[in-house]
Amino acid sequence: MKKKNVKYINRDISWLSFNERVLDEAKDHSLPLYERLKFLAIYSSNLDEFYKVRVAAYRRSSRDPKALLQEILRIVDKQQNEFGSVFWKELVPQLRANRIQLRQNQRLNKSRREFIAAFFFHEVIPYLQPILLIKGKVLPFLQNDAIYLAMKLVKKPASGEEVKNKRKARYAIVNIPSNHLPRFIELPESNGQHCIMFLDDIVRMNLDALFPGYEIASSYSIKLSRDADLGIDDEFTGDLMEKISSSLVKRKTGTPSRFLYDNKIPEPFLDFLIQSLKISRADLVPGGKYHNFSDLFSFPNPLSPKLEVKSLPPLYKKDLESYPSMLEAIRDRDWMLHFPYHSFDPVIRFLNEAAIDPKVREIKTTQYRVASDSAVVNALLNAKHNGKRVTVFVELKARFDEYANLQFARIMSKAGIKIIYSIPGLKVHAKVALVLKKPVKNKQDAYAFLSTGNFNEKTARMYADHGFFTCNEKITSELKDLFCFLEKQDAKPKLKHLLVAQLNIKKELAKKIDREISHAAAGREARMILKMNGLDHPKMIDKLYEASRNGVKIDLLVRGICCLVPGRKFSKNITVTRIVDRFLEHARVFVFHNGGNPEMYMASADWKNRNLDRRIELGFPVWDEEIKNEVLKILDMQLKDNTKARVLDSKHNNLRKPAGEGQKFRAQIETYNYLKMLDSSRDLHIVL
């Protein structure tokens, strides 16, 4: 695709730049071996979703973005080659050096051969579905993202029969049952050597048993990814919950978006598969011998915890923990937690206390993605059992969490909790919980938790987010109005302090940018620090360009998609920094210098089309000076990072920052040490 001097990078090309940055972490020799394997798994998982969502959307569209799809294929092919090189030429030899052997077709001793045979016939065979392919007669259905072996077979000659003529080839497929069994199988240890095999290779070794009377001439791995869109054309009429439930079944049978195949497969063999499985050539993506490297998340480590990243024990705010009650602590002051550095326990404690406090009459909250066996949902159920009124807004359209949210919604609804389901045409992505006590002297007693991340105690150990507790009436009164709007969807609330997508967020953000432009025009310092996961909203990008042209210094911290083009005349005052490290940078923080009196907002919203135009998002102000300075310190550390940070150039190359006199600075580790110093009288420095 020809590079043009444009003002917007294509969002999917930018996303591939982000995934390349993930792949770079797997190349980092300073990381422990299993941490590098984890980043390969993340890269692979990300790419699978990209094909099921983004590429599938192009396939559905009426336009034919052939040039873009060719560019995507070119970039992915390059990255996949790098992926293979890192795994096979770097990490597998390092495993071997640590007495962990990933075996393929190497000779195995007798005990291991016997183990494989027993494992295959007792554990694997019950899940296998071998199918002979007959063009035009047998059309097998390939499961979404499942791995198959495609085989070329030739009939064995009868006993004593002399083979004179070339035998006719047959073709077949068989599934690799990694949905039922581990993808990586540990074989018996021998002489201190640990041996691990792909489940695929255990099946390969025993293919003769599946097709008696045939010889296996060759076998190659294939995989089909399907469109993940739910295909709900009309959200405004009928039962949306029922439509979503029905569409989840259809997702498994979605139209193909990628046919991944071993690039060693002969062209005639590939042609036969294309015709037999009715695959479009436009969906062909060459790959290696193995697929679904997201399974590396569960690659066995017989030497654990050796070769793994050192854990950072979650921190607890001692002053917060000293309170006998979370509600009492919140009544005294505002509190900010920084996950995953801080434990998520105070959030669960907050909800559990509200559930049993006799003075609490009502709890309202949103649910976008919650953990399996969710402690949050359990607290809400407990609150209902204790006679509280509980209202939960459940977003049924949270992609890939629709089923889980449906199940939790049914459980809560059965318990008597009031469930508000998805708003047609919108997703509710706001992260907020509101606890209401019985009024005292006609004064509302309300407590809130607002967050940049989900109510999910499991992802809170991996996602870097901020969580805010307050009982400030300016905020809680507007939250009450917001929940009323979500329930009734009639009169829009009048907001002075909160920023809400669909109501005022774009207008208010534009005002704050204009204010910085005015300061710059008056010769005063003008600056913004804007942290988010993604930036693709053209009007917001144009506003940033306008600010840059007028002398406003803009530091962007954008982890993922960024359609803004830095390094050009119209963006000369804008830098874009991307941080990829052990924790997923997920927070959204917007800081405006405001003539030396900084204004700070946190939000659930990225500056993307979907967030600002098609979702209910929530942004909230941070007024407490101590908390504000704490967050500014964290942002400053991220801008100083010269280890895991990359600066984007105009082509979205991930450029390393100079170390500066050889001193490395890693923001996530420094943030942990900083918060540990704040939360403890001991200043213990963690070195990894």
Q: For 121, which DSSP code? A: I
> How, if at all, do strands 443-451 and 463-470 pair?
antiparallel
**What amino acid is encoded at 82 in this protein?**
E
Residue spans of alpha helices (H) in 415-551: 473-488, 505-521, 538-549
Measured on CA atoms in the order 149, 152, 155, 161, is the torsion positive or negative?
A: negative
**What amino acid is encoded at 592 in this protein?**
F
The H or E element that residue 47 is part of is: helix 33-50
Q: Is residue 279 within 8 Å of residue 256, measured between CB atoms?
A: yes
Is 429 part of the annotated catalytic residue set?
Answer: yes
- Count of Cβ atoms closer than 10 Å to residue 14 Cβ: 22
Among the listed residues 439, 495, 432, 499, the one whose alpha carbon sits nearest the alpha carbon of residue 467:
432
Question: How many whole angstroms separate alpha carbon 562 and alpha carbon 21?
Answer: 13
**What amino acid is encoded at 676 in this protein?**
K
Question: How many whole angstroms separate alpha carbon 533 and alpha carbon 545?
Answer: 19
- SS (HEC) of 181-194: CCCEEEEEEECCEE
Packing angle of the helix pair 33-50, 66-85 (nearest 10 deg): 160
Q: Is residue 83 within 8 Å of residue 89, measured between CB atoms?
A: no
Question: How many whole angstroms separate alpha carbon 540 and alpha carbon 430?
Answer: 20
DSSP string computed for 556-585: EEESS-B-B--SSGGGTTEEEEEE-SSSEE
Q: Which residues neighbour 196 within 8 Å (Cβ) at sequence distance 6 or greater? A: 100, 101, 102, 103, 184, 185, 186, 187, 299, 300
Catalytic residue among 342, 429, 466, 593: 429
**What amino acid is encoded at 70 in this protein?**
Q
Q: For 292, which DSSP code? A: -
- Residue 619 DSSP SS3: strand
Distances in Å between the alpha carbon of 68 and those of 9, 15, 72, 656?
A: 12, 13, 6, 27
**What amino acid is encoded at 409 in this protein?**
A
Angle subtended at Cα 363 by Cα 360 and Cα 365, rounded to the nearest 5 degrees: 160
Is the previous residue joined to 314 through a cis bond, with omega within 30 degrees of 0?
no
- Count of Cβ atoms closer than 10 Å to residue 497 Cβ: 15
Quick one: tokens of 356?
A: 């049993």
Quick one: tokens of 194?
A: 């640990």
Four-point Cα dihedral 512, 514, 519, 523, nearest 10: 150
The H or E element that residue 654 is part of is: strand 654-656
The H or E element that residue 466 is part of is: strand 463-470
> How, if at all, do strands 584-585 and 463-470 pair?
parallel
Question: How many whole angstroms separate alpha carbon 274 and alpha carbon 269?
Answer: 9
Q: Is residue 251 within 8 Å of residue 401, measured between CB atoms?
A: no
**Residues involved in catalysis:** 429
